[in-house]
Structure 1
């Protein structure tokens, strides 16, 4: 089948595309700077991207306004299934974090065609492909999380589950809660990365106000700071601290551990 992968240059998309192609699917890898140009804010780019599709991997834009119209246009063009990337327990965050992902969940659920939602914990790769990379390399990571653990998940497992839901049977109407196999505190995770690098990295516990002040001082937009603060509030409540066995049930093997990720990405010879 022909499958559209949105955010194809992102963490999950760039891993999902080769998985789907290796299985014989035609993939339209779309983003603002990818193989196929797609821009949520330029609706004139939508028709060509949607033509002849059977399935869509949907990663919501920061502004949820165009999502409903896009889903409706995709269904009209012949799309028969959606797989949406989302996060665990976002409906408990009062809309301050993940409102765009929740909007995508609602849009596909109301679309009248098959849909699957993949709700994941924080990715392992957030440590080396996201905000936390530079502080780690500088020797200090400060966050407002305390001793609450997080069952970080390898983004490659998320991509495999998404590929299964896009191409397999029995996934319509399912909401899959994905996590890694064990929960670690951020201090433990930073300690593992520090050991692998062979040099000290300090984990510092910040208050919510201190974290906000540091992000603003680094030039983060106020809206992004508020969203990150809401995410850590959700995490501090322990709502996403419990590991799930969904990856193992779906893929027939255990989810990759954080230790495996650290060994692969951070270990220095």
Structure 2
């Protein structure tokens, strides 16, 4: 279809939001997922040309993370395939303050195509759509002793920025750092959620070994455990302890606060105790 945009991770946390927004604008979307038609899989490069056929713009998200061995090689291979099939623009989701993510960014920047980089802080939705949800429902939130505060970002804001980048040429060759409007600790976020759902949540900070054991008790996959070890030991060291105004610059409105996000999430019923372990 004319002007069809390929959205990788179209069933994931950011991809599904981007796809929904594009469709509401009347822009056709090709779902880059294992359930897509044709299906997309980062492990099946032989099918990428078919997925990219006729596509001019791509939103790239890489799963599970840039620190996974072979990630950069796969991204380079995908960008090459995109260029060879006639893609003209890439919007790339990156991690804020991650060395490996910046290496991946260089592949996109040096592609010769139009590009926009979107560097994201930690997602607020990790508390309602990722394994932190289990902690909230269990009433027991445990994290490694964090070294810094984090400006958590709302994925609805992120998706709005990505859609702007995909639909307006003025964002070409721009790097945006997306943050929320405040620096918060995990204790702060837990407290805000506890207050909103009117239910106590025990907050505990432990050493990394104890944290890993807790994740395994929750049967979290080993690749996610490795990612969390990396994030808590490498990324949460103070390098991202700052707030940026890029969301406001792109969208013309303030970024969503954590309390505003919590109100939205509460209204969905995701934290209702009857849905969880208590």
What is the TM-score of this pair, normalised by structure 1? Answer: 0.90
Change in Cα spacing, 1:36 to 1:15, as seen in structure 2 (3 Å) is: farther
> How far off its partner does 1:220 sit?
3.8
Equivalent position of 2:262 in the other structure: 262
Q: Quick one: structure 1 residues 150 and 60, their matched pair in 2 at CA, closer, same or farther if it must change by over 3 Å?
A: same
Identify the match of residue 87 of structure 1 among 92, 95, 104.
95
Report whether the alignment pairs 1:43 with 2:51.
Answer: no
TM-superposed deviation, 1:111 = 1.0
Report the secondary structure of 1:215's partner residue: helix
Between 54-63 and 198-207, report the one with greater CA deviation. Answer: 54-63
Structure 1 residue aligned with 2:18, among 7, 16, 40?
16
8 Å CA contact 2:60–2:91 kept in 1: the answer is yes
1:103 to partner: Cα distance? 5.0
Superimposed CA distance per residue, residues 10-55 of structure 1 (whole angstroms, 9 cap, x where no aligned partner): 0111110121122232211220124551112222321221111111
Deviates more, 1:228-237 or 1:257-266: 228-237
CA distance in 2, matches of 1:7, 1:103: 20
Would you say the 8 A contact 2:147–2:238 is kept in 1? no
Which whole-Å deviations, capped at 9, do the CAs of 1:124-169 have from their partners, x for residues lacking one? 1000111100111000010014473211111011001111111112
Query: Larger deviation: 215-224 or 121-130?
Result: 215-224
Alignment of 1:1-269 (within 5 A): 1-34=3-36, 36-62=38-64, 63-64=70-71, 65-91=73-99, 99=100, 101-102=101-102, 104-146=104-146, 148-266=148-266
Deviates more, 1:65-74 or 1:210-219: 210-219
Q: How many residues align?
A: 261
Q: Distance in 2 between matches of 1:266 and 1:234?
A: 31
Distance 1:83 1:30 in 2: 14
Greater mean deviation of Cα atoms: 191-200 or 23-32: 23-32
3-state secondary structure, aligned to 2:203: strand
Unaligned runs of 5+ in 1: 92-98
TM-aligned CA distance change 1:147 to 1:191, over 3 Å: farther
| Inter-partner Cα distance in structure 1 for 2:41 and 2:235 | 31
SS of match in other structure, 1:66: helix
CA distance in 2, matches of 1:132, 1:11: 14
- Which ranges in structure 2 are unaligned for 5 or more consecutive residues? 65-69, 273-278
Runs of 4+ in 1 over 6 A off after TM superposition: none
Query: Normalised by the size of structure 2, how large is the TM-score?
Result: 0.87
* CA deviation after TM superposition for structure 1 residue 4, in Å: 0.5
In 1: Cα distance, 2:13 partner to 2:224 partner: 19
CA shift, 1:2, in A, is 1.9
Q: Is 1:67–1:103's contact at 8 Å kept on the other side of the alignment?
A: no
